[in-house]
Amino acid sequence: MLVGGWSVPTLEDVPVHDTKTCASCGRTIEWRKKWARSWDDVKYCSDACRRHKVTDTDRALEASIRSLLDSRKGGATICPSEAAREVGEEDWRDLMEPARRAARRLVAAGEVEVTQGGKVVDPSTTKGPIRVRRVR
Question: What's the first-to-final CA gap in the chain, in angstroms?
Answer: 44
DSSP conformation letters of 33-102: GGGTTTGGG---SSHHHHHH---HHHHHHHHHHHHHHHTSPTT--B-HHHHHHHHHGGGGGGGHHHHHHH
CATH of the domain at 127: 1.10.10.10
22 Cβ neighbours under 8 A, 6+ residues apart = 28, 29, 43, 44, 45, 46, 49
With vertex at residue 87, the alpha carbon angle to CA 111 and CA 24, rounded to the nearest 5 degrees, is 50
Q: Is residue 6 part of a domain?
A: no
33/70 same-domain check: no
The boundaries of the domain holding residue 77 are 55-134
**pLDDT per residue as tens, the chain (136 positions):** 666 777 666 656 556 667 888 888 888 888 888 888 888 888 888 889 889 889 999 999 999 999 999 999 888 999 999 999 999 988 999 999 999 999 999 999 999 999 999 999 999 889 999 999 999 8
Report the alpha-carbon distance of residue 22 to residue 49 in Å, rounded.
Answer: 8
Q: What is the DSSP letter of 16?
A: P
| Domains: count for the chain | 2
Instruction: Verify that 22 and 36 share a domain, yes or no.
Output: yes
In a domain, 5, yes or no: no
